[in-house]
Amino acid sequence: MELSSIYLAIPMFLALYILTQHVLHKLQNLPPCPFPILPIIGHLYLLKNPMHKNLSKLSKTYGPVLFLQFGSRRVLIVASPSAAEECLSKNDIIFANRPRLVAGKYFGQNYASLAWSSYGDHWRNLRRIASTQLLSSYRVQALSIFRTDEVHLMIQHLFQKCKNNDSYQKVDMKSLLFEVTFNSITRMLAGKRFYGERVVDSEEATRFQEIVGEQVKVLAKSSKQEFLPFFRWFSLEGIEKMCEDVQRKRDVFVQNWIEGFRKMRSNRITTNKENKDRTTIEILLSLQETDPEYYTDEMIRGLMLTLLTAASNTSADTMEWTMTHLLNNPEILKKARAEIDKIIGQQRLIDESDVPQLHYLKLIIMETLRMHPVVPLLLPHESSKDCTVGGFHVPRGTMLLVNVWAIQNDEKIWIDPEVFSPERFEDIEMGNDNGNQFKWLPFGTGRRGCPGENLAMRMIALALGSLIHFFEWERIGDEKEDMSELGGFTAPKARPLVANFRCRPTVVPLLSQT
């Protein structure tokens, strides 16, 4: 065949392929999708970061039920309360599975962890353990001593920086909030803290911080492989091997925790068996004694790593976004402080038991979660069989992304959604029986909803309430804080928040005594 004929045949083949795909799409009654669907890459050419905002624009053009082809994978995007309700309520069981992604293979124990296991007996049992043994209201309350202590240490750290100086001091809020959150979680899990003072094993702390950094980097590099598997054939960096190496380090690290507690177990049985503030690892090891075949070390490691990963960055990011909005809206910050002074006074520290009374603070956190949901697209779901969503056919094996950000920032649902207004929630109850459940769902809902919502809300409120209570806050400069965000699984601030603070004169005597 002559070269000119080849040049002519290629565009003809592409045009025929694209038209055939378009006709088949219509005949199968699949949801609307952008034209064209290109060979091999599908609609990947349309994706830009931040992905949740880019997908929101596509949904506004093609409708709230959108069908995309990410390389070889079919993807359903839903961006309305009614469509989300169809997927997470009416078809909840069908969409209760997880797709087999690189993250689930290596960081989800080969799709067997709580976050990445598909729906079935194993997942139901893991969920039951998490909900009743580890994250129940009783357990969350029992371990509040660790969270309260970490928040008080944070307050004392800031106080030492400004107690003898009336001028404002600078603080890196991102680091501060991550450290208090991470320490709170690791103390609940294993009685260990990794940042700040009272770190028993600084070498261990440094090692774990390095592992966390490696995991973040390798996940960022694996994104192309998720949807274009042929990249693995040409990858010079060996992404999957890197994932495997990082997971091995994670396993070894947590296994050392297990072995350490196992050595102390004989003493713990006699001295601390009924102690309500037992750490998570102690509870799991006690369950292992009753059923060693199910509660294996591997299963315990998976639960520990799931809780650690799910609770640390997301809560810290939410607090950073909240503080950013408060600095940009000083009148809201002033109103929140007035509520705290009225309820708590200035003669004592805030306790977690005070949190339910801080109504306006709760509204502030809800508004932050509306504008900046912790996981903008939720964790991906996958359909286990054919179903119908929005009147369209959704084939078995389709990955589902619920664009929570799009729903919670839709001008058709929320008045002035770009304005930070906690008061909008004063007359709105978010629950199962009032029609608003699928308008605000930063923690997801249904079978795969986040079981740690109660813990997250308590921890965020305690830390933020304490910062507002004891210190005055200002922006570094006259201009408002930058609100741009990074794209990815979560959506943290693109520019970490640095703020000015100083002690409130009225609370100096109290902080000097603690």
How far apart CA 82 and CA 85 sit, in angstroms, is: 5
Beta carbons within 10 angstroms of residue 225's beta carbon: 18
How far apart CA 88 and CA 321 sit, in angstroms, is: 27
What tokens does 84 get?
Answer: 């989300």
Q: Which residues are annotated as a binding site?
A: 450
Is the separation of the CB atoms in 464 and 365 below 8 Å? yes
β-strand pairing of 498-503 with 471-474: antiparallel
Q: Which residues are annotated as a binding site for heme?
A: 450
Is the separation of the CB atoms in 192 and 200 below 8 Å? yes
Beta carbons within 10 angstroms of residue 449's beta carbon: 15
Beta carbons within 10 angstroms of residue 241's beta carbon: 12
How far apart CA 153 and CA 500 sit, in angstroms, is: 19
Is the separation of the CB atoms in 458 and 140 below 8 Å? yes
Q: Compute the Cα dihedral for 424, 425, 431, 437 and give only its sign.
A: positive
How far apart CA 178 and CA 338 sit, in angstroms, is: 26
How far apart CA 332 and CA 307 sit, in angstroms, is: 32
- What is the separation, in whole angstroms, between the first and last Cα of the chain? 87
How far apart CA 296 and CA 286 sit, in angstroms, is: 12
How far apart CA 408 and CA 412 sit, in angstroms, is: 10
